[in-house]
Chains A and B, each alone.
Chain A
């Protein structure tokens, strides 16, 4: 009976697509999330997701596929953030605030001009099970593989920069180039995840699994692994629950990830009080 319920969901092709997109998003966001959190750039996901919303709005307004807009706008925003971050080193958060506000402004203007307040827009805002198309899946898988491969190749450099940027520079790592590449990878990660989680919640999927992993990890590799597991668990459970209870997938996934973090913090605190 239980097996019936578990497998029934896969009779629907849209759910198969949702699971494929969701798991790909989970692995990518949770891997890059560890680096994002360690570099104290947790707000970057929020800024880039707002930029991706502007891209979606541009797509709807100018009549091209909104997903392409999300990819293009978030990459441009990431490059802009990195440029401002380098210029105003001591006020790096200014870059995030400016990009986030400007993107939101552009999105709202384009949405109102195009009168695009419709179900499609809401699917990009909050994520949707039904909205993931074959074309989305292809893009998500291709970009996902690209981001994961790039992260694997850059993992050592990113580790060194996250731990100590000055020493990384003096050990011959091209820090500026790696930072630009990392910004682009973060932007692609945001764009990949927008379909399932929605622009408003994507940064949570980047930050929360990483936050859990930092509480539990006993090495850097284990931090990435734990983050991956928490994100995959949240996405799979969230998709199941949103299917059976007709909930918005983005919100459900993020609530589950938050619950995992809450439980981990609670258990850790309890043990630390006991002096364990």
Chain B
């Protein structure tokens, strides 16, 4: 059996007060589409940052591709798309091409000149943003910006992709397109996807595992075909009736 992409053992974390994560145990296997859902403030982002080593837990063990995350150095294997909506400096004077290429700056010392150009072109083509290559990042819509960040994360050919609410603030059509792209990358190219989302419908439809983060714990549901939206909503304390009314 393959080494898990992510493995958390008895992970606990607090921001100085009560623990926001308590003895969390979970695994993400190679090829998984793992959706992390939960109410606002449930520490989903913290959990993801712990997985990739951006936050150090108070207790417990975190392994990335079988290595302790603190000594993990195989950066080419992972890519991270942080929660960007509104946080990015929109006056940053960088073109789409420059931003996508920046995904190679840390990990691909061996790629030079034409290889970089080719990798950047390929990543832009994969997410369909080639026509935007010379545009400034501040001139793009929210959906287009998210595609740029996705292209930046894909440019180094990672094995696992971590996304923190990548579709927040973008329209329904762009969301659908974005999800379709992720599904293609996961199913056709075997990319492991770990994604934080509030979209229970998408999680149940696309993910093969759903992690419900609530009250410091993570309940992992496998075989998501057996898990209905209503069931997940109930676990999470959401009212599906209200949700459906809101959606209408």
Contacts and interface: CB of A to CB of B under 8 A. Distances in A.
Interface of A: 38, 156-157, 159-160, 162-164, 166-173, 213-214, 217-223
A159 B105 contact: yes
B95 A220 contact: yes
Contacts of B98: 159, 219-221
B106 A159 contact: no
Q: For chain B, give the interface size range.
A: 20 to 34
Given A164-B82, A219-B98, A173 B93 contact: no
Interface in B78-115: 78-82, 88-89, 91-95, 98-99, 102-107
Contact of A170 (B78, B91, B104): B78
A163 B107 contact: no
Interface in B56-82: 73, 75-76, 78-82
A105 to B, nearest CB: 34
Nearest to A175: B106
A168 B82 CA distance: 11
Contacts of A167: 80-82, 152
Given A170-B80, A172-B73, A218-B136, A163 B106 contact: no
Contacts of B227: none
B202 interface: no
Please classify the interface of chain B as helix (H, G, I), strand (E, B), loop, or mixed, using the class held by over half of its residues. Answer: loop
Nearest to B136: A218
**Max count, chain A CB within 10 A of own CB: residue among B73, B93, B102, B104:** B93
A261 to B, nearest CB: 15
B52 interface: yes
B95 A218 contact: yes
A163 B94 contact: yes
A38 B80 CA distance: 22
B156 interface: yes
A163 B82 contact: no
A178 to B, nearest CB: 10
Given A160-B102, A171-B103, A172-B107, A166 B93 contact: no
Contacts of A38: 89, 92
Contacts of B53: 170
A156 B101 CA distance: 9
Nearest to A173: B106
A10 B104 CA distance: 47
Given A170-B53, A217-B93, 10 more contacts: A159-B94, A164-B88, A166-B80, A166-B82, A167-B82, A171-B79, A171-B102, A218-B95, A219-B134, A220-B93
Interface of B: 52-54, 73, 75-76, 78-82, 88-89, 91-95, 98-99, 102-107, 134, 136, 152, 156
A219 B106 contact: no
Contacts, number: 77
B82 to A, nearest CB: 6
B93 A223 contact: yes
Nearest to A157: B105
Contacts of A219: 93-95, 98, 134, 136
Contact of B102 (A156, A213, A214, A221): A156
A171 B106 contact: yes
Nearest to A170: B80
A242 B5 CA distance: 65
A157 B106 contact: yes
Given A160-B102, A218-B136, A171 B107 contact: yes
Given A169-B54, A218-B136, A163 B105 contact: no
A202 B152 CA distance: 36
Nearest to A159: B102
A211 to B, nearest CB: 11
Given A156-B105, A171-B156, A172-B106, A222 B93 contact: yes
B102 A170 contact: no
A161 to B, nearest CB: 10
Contact of A214 (B52, B73, B91): B91
B102 to A, nearest CB: 5
